[in-house]
């Protein structure tokens, strides 16, 4: 099956914003996807579920790609395939990392695990709370793993919690007991604390209150200005209208079948 | 659980050799095969563990996962296969070592927690004595140091220190596992092996023991190999997962991939059978 996947017109930015801070950054794409295909083989049913095929696009530093399409079109599936929670059947996901170009479609598991700590972030609306870990420690953890000293990491984490509107009394408490909304704020603070090269966003605005949504947009805009490339699925794309550089429409096979 | 009818194993999408991970693996096993009479316990099993990661090995009873873990602890030898650990004094294939050297190497560098505390503990000796024994084997003779380090290890395992003199036989299952864990980590091992460490415990106790393991892993970056038939335990703990069936590795991958996009019919059946 082939999908119409219009290559988003990547505006050729001469200098990505991140280049301003240091040496003239060579304008390498962050990610180059070629001919990516995913299906699920369901052995107990003897069935194959096609998700997408022939996906290709290129994303430069600081660019924001919006994935669109009806429910079931494969938007979240594509995000998870890029993150390698799903294994693709064909194609390439070239990531230009600090250590060179690597194909996420077939990179070794340990390499993918490393890249998830250093270069690729995934933001969902769900917090994976862990028993007896304080909200501020949970938020500080990505910084600690990246080598930040404990006091600095904690200070940054607290600032992020404040930014997302988590009440100060809750910072040292365990998020497993928080309400859904508060957990989501902790989750966003954690997921966005470390500027990574590529950020995958799976409906992070769903069920956020207005204050937290505004904080999320401020943070995404700041990361974009630092050169973070983003690929996102948003139930209400209007939330991020000002950030979008390109769109990729994943037409669903079901809708096409109905149309015929 | 009903097993899927045998079908040809689907091809795993090919994967490259590690390029970004430049630290050599701490554990490398290749081509391990072992038969017990007519029974194939392990057939050409290979495993690699990198520093600081948690490798989960999942499979049903008789899949060979515990046999493999015992080999990692040098309690048994395969019919063929190679085992290397990147630790001081461990050169060449460790299966070539004699029993004494195996024991010294594992006492010093490898910690293990068994499902059955009777395998890991002297049930009639005090809890602190059990931990100190491991230090004694490694050559520590100073009484004050023995006591201090045993206490420290029990504390790190979140064992209640007021019960330090209690014998394991007087303790609950969860507490016994904490004593085993303290003994296993007392010498700050390069590798911690966990064989169904929470199986048989109440669910709430199980959560507390797993939480302690998580905390140890986070604070000390201990490299772990965790064997369990319980997918929930594996999912909570593991970075990477190996799925075993009938002595073979049927699938290997990142934990989230194994649970969200299992490739092999057997792994799919396992994941779907999870409550």
Cβ distance A85 to B257 less than 8 Å, yes or no, reads: yes
Contact across the interface for B20 and A103, Cβ inside 8 Å: no
Distance CA B231, CA B275 (A): 10
List the single residue in A with minimal CA-CA distance to B221: A145
| DSSP structure class, residue B4 | P
Q: Return d(Cα B67, Cα A107) in angstroms, integer.
A: 30
- Chain B: closest CA distance from residue A134 (Å): 12
How many angstroms separate the CA of residue A83 from the nearest CA in chain B? Answer: 10
Say which residue, A86 or B204, is predicted with more confidence.
Answer: A86
* 10-residue averages of pLDDT along chain B (275 residues): 48 81 94 94 96 94 94 96 92 94 92 93 94 88 90 93 94 93 92 93 85 85 94 92 96 95 93 75
Give residue-wise pLDDT tens across range A183-214: 989 999 999 999 899 999 999 888 788 999 99
Predicted local distance difference test score (pLDDT) of residue B88: 85
What contacts A216, CB < 8 A, 6 or more positions away?
A164, A188, A192, A204, A205, A208
Domains and CATH numbers, chain A: 30-119+196-260 (3.40.50.300), 125-195 (no CATH)
Given a cut of 70, whether residue A256 has pLDDT beyond it is: no
Tell me the average pLDDT across A167-196.
91
Give the per-residue pLDDT at B201: 85
**Which one of A87, A112, A130 has the shortest CB-CB distance to B263?**
A87
Contacting residues of A for B207, CB less than 8 Å apart? 131
**Do the Cβ atoms of B10 and A41 come within 8 Å?**
yes
| CATH class of the domain whose range is B53-273 | alpha beta
Domain residues of chain B, as ranges? 53-273
- Give the model confidence (pLDDT) of A45-72 as tens digits: 888 999 999 999 999 999 999 999 988 8
Whether A112 and chain B come into contact, CB under 8 Å, resolves to yes
Give the residue, A109 or A23, on which the prediction is more confident: A109
Compute the nearest-CA separation of B174 from chain A (Å).
17
pLDDT at B194: 96
- Please give the Cα distance from B138 to B123 (Å, whole number): 21
DSSP at A241 = G
CB count within 10 Å of CB A80 equals: 23
pTM, full prediction: 0.88
* Disruptive mutation site among A87, A115, A142 for chain B (greatest number of B CBs within 10 Å): A87
Contacts (Cβ under 8 Å, ≥6 apart) of B209: B174, B177, B178, B181, B197, B198, B201
Assess A128–B contact: CB distance below 8 Å, yes or no.
Answer: no
Instruction: Residue A41: list chain B partners with CB under 8 A.
Output: 10, 263
Nearest to B274 by CA among B260, B253, B254: B260
Q: Give pLDDT tens digits for B82-101.
A: 999 999 888 899 999 999 99
Q: Chain B: give the shortest CA distance to residue A157, in Å.
A: 18
Q: What is the mean pLDDT of chain A?
A: 85
Residue with tokens 């593991």: B238
Contact B13 A106 (CB under 8 A): yes
Q: What does B109-171 look like in DSSP terms, one character per residue?
A: HEEEE-SSHHHHS-TTS-HHHHHHHHHHHTT---HHHHHHHHHHHHHHTT--GGGTTS-GGGS
Structure tokens given for A244: 């979008």
pLDDT at B209: 87
Which of B4, B9, B15, B219 to mutate against chain A (most A CBs within 10 Å)? B15
Across the interface, of A87, A97, A100, the residue whose CB is closest to B261 is A87
Contact yes or no for B103/B75 (Cβ under 8 A): no
Share of chain A above pLDDT 70, in %: 86
For residues A220-247, average pLDDT: 93
Q: Tell me how crowded residue A20 is: count the other CB atoms within 10 A of its CB.
A: 12
| Residues A167-177, mean pLDDT to the nearest whole number | 92
pLDDT band at A90 (very low <50, low <70, confident <90, very high): very high
Location of structure tokens 């079948």: A257
Cβ distance A108 to B239 less than 8 Å, yes or no, reads no
Angle between helices B173-185 and B143-156 (to 10 degrees): 120
């Amino acid at each position: 099956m082939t999908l119409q996947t219009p290559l988003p017109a990547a505006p050729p930015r001469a200098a990505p914003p991140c280049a301003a801070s240091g040496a003239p950054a060579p304008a390498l794409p962050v990610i180059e996807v070629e001919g990516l295909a995913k299906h699920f083989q369901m052995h107990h049913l003897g069935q194959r579920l096609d998700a997408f095929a022939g996906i290709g696009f290129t994303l430069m530093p600081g660019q924001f790609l919006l994935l669109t399409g009806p429910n079931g079109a494969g938007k979240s599936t594509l995000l998870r395939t890029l993150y390698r929670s799903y294994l693709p059947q064909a194609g390439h996901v070239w990531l230009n990392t600090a250590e060179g170009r690597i194909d996420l479609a077939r990179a070794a598991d340990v390499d993918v695990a490393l890249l998830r700590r250093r270069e690729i972030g995934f933001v969902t609306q769900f917090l994976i709370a862990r028993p007896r870990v304080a909200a501020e420690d949970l938020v500080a953890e990505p910084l600690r793993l990246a080598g930040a000293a404990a006091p600095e990491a904690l200070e940054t984490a607290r600032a992020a919690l404040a930014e997302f509107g988590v009440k100060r009394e809750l910072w040292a408490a365990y998020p497993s007991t928080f309400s859904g909304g508060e957990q989501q704020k902790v989750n966003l603070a954690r997921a966005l604390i470390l500027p990574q090269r590529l950020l995958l966003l799976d409906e992070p605005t769903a069920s956020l209150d207005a204050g937290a949504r505004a904080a999320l947009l401020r943070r995404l805009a700041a990361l974009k200005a630092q050169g973070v490339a983003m690929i996102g699925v948003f139930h209400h794309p209007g939330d991020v209208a000002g950030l979008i550089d390109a769109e990729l429409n994943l037409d669903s096979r079901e809708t096409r079948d109905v149309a015929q | 659980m009903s097993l899927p009818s045998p079908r040809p194993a689907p091809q795993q999408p090919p994967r490259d050799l590690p390029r970004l991970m430049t630290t050599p693996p701490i554990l490398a096993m290749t081509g391990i095969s072992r038969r017990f009479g007519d029974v194939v316990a392990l057939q050409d099993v290979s495993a690699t563990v990198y520093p600081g990661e948690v490798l989960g090995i999942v499979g049903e009873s008789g899949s060979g996962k515990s046999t493999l873990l015992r080999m990692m602890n040098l309690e048994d030898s395969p019919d063929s296969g190679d085992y290397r650990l990147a630790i001081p004094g461990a050169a060449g294939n460790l299966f070539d070592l004699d029993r004494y050297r195996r024991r010294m190497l594992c006492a010093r560098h490898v910690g293990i927690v068994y499902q059955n505390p009777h395998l890991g503990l002297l049930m009639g000796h005090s809890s602190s004595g059990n931990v100190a024994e491991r230090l004694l084997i490694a050559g520590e003779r100073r009484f004050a140091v023995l006591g201090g380090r045993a206490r420290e290890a029990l504390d790190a395992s979140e064992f209640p220190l007021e019960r330090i003199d209690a014998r394991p036989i007087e303790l609950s299952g969860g507490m016994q596992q904490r004593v085993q864990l303290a003994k296993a980590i007392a010498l700050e091992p390069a590798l911690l092996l966990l064989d169904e460490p929470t199986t048989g415990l109440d669910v709430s106790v199980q959560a507390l023991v797993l939480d302690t393991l998580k905390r140890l892993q986070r604070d000390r970056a201990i490299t772990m190999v965790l064997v369990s038939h319980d997918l929930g335990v594996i999912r909570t703990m593991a970075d990477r997962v190996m799925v075993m069936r009938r002595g073979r590795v049927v699938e290997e991958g990142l934990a989230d991939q194994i649970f969200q996009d299992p490739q092999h019919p057997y792994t799919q059946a396992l994941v779907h059978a999870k409550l």
